[in-house]
Amino acid sequence: MSAPSPQTILNAVQQALAEDLASGDVTTSALFPTALQATATIVAHQPMTVAGVAVAREVFVAVDPSVRITAAVKDGSAVKPETPVLTVRGDVRSLLMAERVAVNFLQQLSGIATLTAQFCAAVRGYPTRILDTRKTTPGLRSLEKWAVQLGGGKNHRFSLGDGVLIKDNHLAVLRATGIDVAGACRLARANAPHGLRIEAEAKTLQEVKEALAGKADIILLDNMLPALVRQAVALIKQRALVEVSGGMTLQTVAAMAQAGADYISVGALTHSAPAANLSMDLCAQRGRRGRSR
């Protein structure tokens, strides 16, 4: 997956602005009945990997095409605390109306990129890649998976059509009909579109053996402790790629990499990343300063 298309970004921005400005901005309209030129600077208040600058820019332009972006760091940049991320000049009313949506996108996406970078750093030195999952905010998957990329991670399936992943609920139904993991892999190979890799979930060494018998391309070791992952890797003997998942944390991920995982998928990258700490400061030509909430 590459960066989201301009149309994808625009769609997300328009939806967010429609939500926030459905009835206008009554506070700003009451306080500033006429135009006043001002400069807005969005500042990072913690070490972070920045993601969402392209989205924030689009927010300001969508609110007022006459605003000027005078400085911005690049998406994917690692910055120190108190680094200016984006500076915009224009009518103060436009800047205030765009503020919350622009900062929200930056906080959400930079949080994802920052957490991803931390997971990638935790497995540095091992031939293991950090993957995301489909546990994303509905409607924002493209943006959130882009943030994972900016943090150094790799994208797993973008949608259900991107690959075969035989999981526990598929297997629970199939077992009731007498089909095990091996049989599920054979069914998928016979009926799925040509060329798609077959991935099968395994919770036990017996299921690993069944996945191998079914010639799975990738075996997903779910909720296994590192010692059991090591046994599974020895059993697989490079006949399939090994993915590990299930409750991964920054404290446990290195042990899984050391156990021999080719990939580690981390749902928390998108469903539990803490929002990054950024805010927008305003400075008017008259010297008035402030920070809105």
**Catalytic (active site) residue 135:** yes
List the catalytic residue out of 135, 197, 203, 215: 135
270-293 burial string, b = 16+ CB within 10 Å, else e? beebeebebbbebeeeeeeeeeee
**Catalytic (active site) residue 217:** no
**Catalytic (active site) residue 288:** no
List the catalytic residue out of 201, 207, 210, 243: 201
Find out whether 96 and 28 touch, Cβ atoms under 8 Å: yes
**Catalytic (active site) residue 201:** yes
146: amino acid identity, one letter: W
Angle (CA) 162-163-167 rounded to 5° is 130
List the catalytic residue out of 68, 124, 167, 239: 167
Numbers of helices and strands, H then E, in the chain = 11, 13
**Catalytic (active site) residue 167:** yes
List the catalytic residue out of 25, 58, 199, 222: 222
Find out whether 8 and 84 touch, Cβ atoms under 8 Å: no
The closest alpha carbon to 201, from 188, 220, 186, belongs to 220
List the catalytic residue out of 57, 93, 100, 145: 100
Cα 75 from Cα 54, distance rounded (Å):
7
- What are the backbone angles phi and psi of residue 172, rounded to the nearest 5°? -60, -40
Transcribe 8-69 into DSSP letters: HHHHHHHHHHHHHSTT--HHHHHH-SS--EEEEEEEE-S-EE---HHHHHHHHHHH-TT-EE
The catalytic residue positions are 100, 135, 167, 201, 222
